[in-house]
Chains A and B, each alone.
Chain A
Amino acid sequence: MPRIITNETYGCPPIRALTFDSLGLIKVTEARGKERGTPTVVNTWGETNASRCVLAASIDDRLSNPLLAVARKDGSVEVLNPCNGDLHFAYSVFGDDGSSPEDDEISGLHLFRKQSDYQAERSCSLLTCTKKGDVSLRSVKFPDAHADSTDDAAPKTWKACGSGELLVGKVDGSENFGLFGGKRVEVNIWDLEQCTKIWSAKSPPKDNLGIFTPTWFTCAAFLSNEDHRKFVTGTKSHQVRLYDVSAQRRPVLSFDFRETAITAISEDPDGHTIYVGNASADLASFDIRTGKLLGSFLGKCSGSIRSVVRHPQQQVIASCGLDRYLRVYDVKTRQLISAVFLKQHLTGLVFDSGFSGEDIAVANTVVEAESEENMTIMEQEDEEEQNEDRLEEAPVKKKKSKKDKRSREEVSGGEEIDEVRSKKTRDHKKKSKKVKHIQEE
Chain B
Amino acid sequence: MGYKRKRGDGEGEEMEAEDRGRPSFNGTEKRNVILPSMIKNKDKRSKVYAKQKHEKKLEKQKKIKARDAAEKRALELGEEPPQKMIPRTIENTRESDETICRPDDEELFAEIDADEFNPVLRREITPKVLITTCRFNSTRGPAFISELLSVIPNSHYQKRGTYDLKKIVEYATKKDFTSLIVVHTRRREPDALLIIGLPNGPTAHFKLSNLVLRKDIKNHGNPTSHEPELVLNNFTTRLGNRVGRFFQSLFPQEPNFRGRRVVTFHNQRDFIFFRHHRYIFETKESKQSGTKGKESVVGEKVKARLQECGPRFTLKLVTLQHGTFDTKGGEFEWVHKPEMDTSRRRFFL
Give 1 or 0 for each of A113-135: 1 = CB within 8 Å of chain B CB: 00000000000000000000000
A110 to B238, CA, bound (A): 33
Residues of A with C-beta under 8 A to B331: 260-261, 263, 279, 304, 322
Q: Does A335 contact B (CB under 8 A)?
A: no
Binds A, one of B67-75, B109-117, B150-158: B109-117
A323 contacts B333, C-beta separation under 8 Å:
yes
Shortest Cβ distance from residue B65 to the other chain A in the assembled complex, whole angstroms? 40
User: With A50-B114, A281-B337, A322-B333 as given contacts, are A3 and B109 in contact (CB-CB < 8 Å)?
Assistant: no
A91 to B339, CA, bound (A): 45
Q: Does B288 contact A (CB under 8 A)?
A: no
Q: Does B17 contact A (CB under 8 A)?
A: no
Q: Which 10 A-B pairs have the closest CB atoms?
A: A50-B114, A48-B110, A304-B331, A2-B341, A279-B331, A407-B109, A236-B329, A341-B98, A322-B333, A261-B329
18 contacts between A and B (CB under 8 A): A3-B339, A3-B341, A23-B110, A23-B111, A216-B329, A261-B329, A279-B331, A281-B337, A300-B337, A301-B337, A302-B334, A302-B337, A303-B332, A303-B334, A322-B333, A343-B105, A344-B111, A436-B283
Residues of B with C-beta under 8 A to A403: 106
Residues of A with C-beta under 8 A to B103: 411
Interface residues of chain A: helix, strand, loop or mixed (majority):
loop
B110 contacts A410, C-beta separation under 8 Å:
no
Binds B, one of A173-181, A389-397, A421-429: A421-429
Shortest Cβ distance from residue A325 to the other chain B in the assembled complex, whole angstroms? 9
Q: Does A254 contact B (CB under 8 A)?
A: no
Give 1 or 0 for each of B76-93: 1 = CB within 8 Å of chain A CB: 000000000000000000
Give 1 or 0 for each of A1-23: 1 = CB within 8 Å of chain B CB: 01111000000000000000011
Shortest Cβ distance from residue A76 to the other chain B in the assembled complex, whole angstroms? 18
Shortest Cβ distance from residue A130 to the other chain B in the assembled complex, whole angstroms? 20
Q: Does A224 contact B (CB under 8 A)?
A: no
Give 1 or 0 for each of A309-349: 1 = CB within 8 Å of chain B CB: 00000000000001110000000000000000101110000
Which of B281, B331, B341 has the largest number of chain A CB atoms within 10 A?
Answer: B331
A243 to B332, CA, bound (A): 28
Q: Does B298 contact A (CB under 8 A)?
A: no
Shortest Cβ distance from residue A125 to the other chain B in the assembled complex, whole angstroms? 32
Give 1 or 0 for each of A242-267: 1 = CB within 8 Å of chain B CB: 00000000000000000011010000
Residues of A with C-beta under 8 A to B330: 260-261, 279
A302 contacts B340, C-beta separation under 8 Å:
yes
Q: Does B124 contact A (CB under 8 A)?
A: no
User: With A322-B331, A323-B334 as given contacts, are A48 and B238 in contact (CB-CB < 8 Å)?
Assistant: no
A236 contacts B328, C-beta separation under 8 Å:
yes
Shortest Cβ distance from residue B99 to the other chain A in the assembled complex, whole angstroms? 6
Q: Does A433 contact B (CB under 8 A)?
A: yes
Q: Does A25 contact B (CB under 8 A)?
A: yes
How many residues on A have C-beta within 8 angstroms of the other chain's C-beta atoms?
A: 45
Q: Does B107 contact A (CB under 8 A)?
A: yes
Interface residues of chain B: helix, strand, loop or mixed (majority):
mixed
A424 contacts B337, C-beta separation under 8 Å:
no
**Seed contacts A3-B339, A237-B328, A322-B331; 19 additional CB < 8 Å A-B pairs:** A2-B342, A2-B343, A260-B330, A261-B329, A281-B335, A300-B339, A300-B342, A302-B332, A302-B336, A302-B340, A302-B348, A322-B322, A323-B333, A341-B98, A343-B111, A410-B109, A428-B257, A429-B281, A432-B283
Q: Does B306 contact A (CB under 8 A)?
A: no
Q: Does A280 contact B (CB under 8 A)?
A: yes
Residues of A with C-beta under 8 A to B337: 281, 300-302
Q: Does B34 contact A (CB under 8 A)?
A: no
User: With A237-B328, A324-B238, A407-B109 as given contacts, are A303 and B333 in contact (CB-CB < 8 Å)?
Assistant: yes
A433 to B303, CA, bound (A): 12
Q: Does A404 contact B (CB under 8 A)?
A: yes
Q: Does B27 contact A (CB under 8 A)?
A: no
Chain A contacts with B in 278-298, Cβ cutoff 8 A: 279-281, 298
B residues neighboring A (CB under 8 Å): 98-99, 103, 105-111, 113-114, 238, 255, 257-258, 281, 283, 300, 302, 322, 328-344, 348
Residues of B with C-beta under 8 A to A4: 342
Chain A contacts with B in 191-208, Cβ cutoff 8 A: none
A171 to B105, CA, bound (A): 39
A302 contacts B257, C-beta separation under 8 Å:
no
A69 to B321, CA, bound (A): 30
A322 contacts B332, C-beta separation under 8 Å:
yes
A202 to B160, CA, bound (A): 39
**Which A-chain residue is minimally distant from B101 (CB atoms)?**
A343
B302 contacts A429, C-beta separation under 8 Å:
yes
Shortest Cβ distance from residue A326 to the other chain B in the assembled complex, whole angstroms? 12
Shortest Cβ distance from residue A307 to the other chain B in the assembled complex, whole angstroms? 13
A25 to B281, CA, bound (A): 49
Residues of B with C-beta under 8 A to A237: 328
User: With A300-B337, A302-B334 as given contacts, are A343 and B342 in contact (CB-CB < 8 Å)?
Assistant: no
A322 to B341, CA, bound (A): 20
Residues of B with C-beta under 8 A to A300: 337, 339-340, 342
**Which B-chain residue is minimally distant from A25 (CB atoms)?**
B107
Residues of B with C-beta under 8 A to A407: 106, 109-110
A341 to B100, CA, bound (A): 11
Shortest Cβ distance from residue A306 to the other chain B in the assembled complex, whole angstroms? 8
A344 contacts B107, C-beta separation under 8 Å:
yes
Residues of A with C-beta under 8 A to B332: 260, 279-281, 302-304, 322
Residues of A with C-beta under 8 A to B106: 48, 403-404, 407
**Which A-chain residue is minimally distant from B280 (CB atoms)?**
A432
Shortest Cβ distance from residue B147 to the other chain A in the assembled complex, whole angstroms? 26
Residues of A with C-beta under 8 A to B258: 428
A433 to B298, CA, bound (A): 12
Chain A contacts with B in 400-441, Cβ cutoff 8 A: 403-404, 407, 410-411, 421, 424-425, 428-429, 432-433, 436
A48 contacts B107, C-beta separation under 8 Å:
yes
Shortest Cβ distance from residue B302 to the other chain A in the assembled complex, whole angstroms? 6
User: With A260-B332, A280-B332 as given contacts, are A324 and B109 in contact (CB-CB < 8 Å)?
Assistant: no
A343 contacts B114, C-beta separation under 8 Å:
no
Looking at the complex, which one of A3, A216, A304 makes contact with B342 (CB distance below 8 Å)? A3
Residues of B with C-beta under 8 A to A260: 328-332
